[in-house]
Structure 1
Amino acid sequence: MYIIIMGAGRIGTLVARMLESEGHDVAIIEMNRERAREISEYVSGLVIEGDATDQKVLENANIKNADAFAALTGRDDANILACILAKHLNPKIMTILRITDPGKKKIFEEVKELKRYFDIVVSPEDIAANYIFRTLVTPGFDRVLLPREGAEIIQFQVNEDCEVAGKPIKELNLPKDSLIIAVYDEKGNLVIPSGDTVIPKKGQVIIFAKNSALQDVKKIMEKKREE
């Protein structure tokens, strides 16, 4: 894919480097001359000094042939304008809008007239707040938040002391709003589980669960065997 990123701040730079590490072509548009010069040392793709709300700048970045455009600056108004312009110049492009004010996020997701300009709306501040909140409420495991779905993908380490070790999944009595989606044994071998899959005595279990089910899942997965 060819992706254009607006903004070479911490988020934009990190996303660009991650995309390049996966073999994608990336161009970055950055208004600050010094920052643009600095970032060119960290990425191999095109770095353009300019304003992404300017049509000529987007055209110089080859917007018409881009697969995606991500507006990731800390300025909501500029991000919004740039996404609208990107869609105007390339109606097939996928646009990703960063919103720093979580309160505005729902508006862009729900108002039909706006949704056609913004394919994905993200608020790093909202995600971070949710992550901290969920970690405080249900600490103790690795997690990936899915805020829109009100769910998480969580990882549990399993060892011989765990009551679930050696049991088939169908006997665990997990809550209905949870599902084991992957099991890794001690050697790292992946199993896509069924109800008959036995939890290894040492390994990892990946579970998809709604927030309302997390406490019950945690109790079951972390319960120790009685001596």
Structure 2
Amino acid sequence: MKKTNQILVAGCGRLGSNLAGMLCKCGHRVTVVDRDAAAFRRLAADFSGFEVQGDATDPDVLEAAGIGRAALLAAVTENDNVNCMIAQIAARLYGLGQVYARFEDPELEYLVEGLGVHVICPAELSLQEFYRSGLLAREGAEGPLARWGEERA
């Protein structure tokens, strides 16, 4: 089956609904999968993609969502174990080359090691941004943290 610009987003929480909306606005064909039909209310009114209610760890649900034609899958549910399983299914069973999984616990990354899964950890991204902003500057360096220390003295 020919791959397309179809993208599957597993999970329609805050991150999944926003990601799906942004991908649609970028011109991608998006299908969102969530076990809870009420979760689809989080999608913007102008969301032009598709909704599939079901458990994304079930290969039959992924088939119905079009994983065979998908170019990319993002597993962004609120459960690390579920995201891990979805990512493994997409990478191993379907050979999807672009698989992304959100893990709150960065120590779980080893579970998808060697599968080509891109792991995104919100806590690590936040720390990188704090570092980039200068808050986590090295001792003796300038930055907000150094100035805060001076003000407190």
Match of 1:55 in 2: 59
Shift of 1:56: 0.8
Deviations 1:129-158 (A, max 9, x none): 3212442135xxxxxxxxxxxxxxxxxxxx
Shift of 1:43: 1.6
Contact 1:64/1:89 (<8 A) preserved: no
Task: Pick the structure with more helix per residue.
Answer: 2
SS in 1 for 2:115: coil
Asked if 1:123 corresponds to 2:127, the answer is no
User: Which 5+ residue runs of structure 1 have no aligned equivalent?
Assistant: 109-113, 139-211, 217-227
Aligned partner letter, 1:3: I
C-alpha root-mean-square deviation of aligned residues, in Å? 2.3
The 5 Å alignment of 1:106-117 reads: 107-108=110-111, 114-117=112-115
Give the distance between the partners of 1:17 and 1:8, measured in 2 at CA: 11
Give the counterpart of 2:92 among 67, 88, 91.
Answer: 88
TM-score normalized by the length of structure 2: 0.77
The 5 Å alignment of 1:146-165 reads: none
**Alignment coverage as a number of residue pairs:** 135
Task: Pick the structure with more strand per residue.
Answer: 1
Change (3 A) 1:38 1:130: closer
Larger relative contact order (Cα-Cα within 8 Å, sequence gap ≥ 6): 2
Match of 1:77 in 2: 81
% identity of equivalent residues: 29
SS in 2 for 1:43: coil
Aligned partner letter, 1:120: H
Aligned partner letter, 1:35: A
Deviations 1:90-141 (A, max 9, x none): 2143111111112333x35xxxxx4343421110121013212442135xxx
Give the counterpart of 2:68 among 42, 64, 67.
Answer: 64
Q: Flag the structure with larger Rg.
A: 1
Deviations 1:150-190 (A, max 9, x none): xxxxxxxxxxxxxxxxxxxxxxxxxxxxxxxxxxxxxxxxx
Contact 2:31/2:52 (<8 A) preserved: yes
User: Which 5+ residue runs of structure 2 have no aligned equivalent?
Assistant: 143-153
Shift of 1:74: 1.6
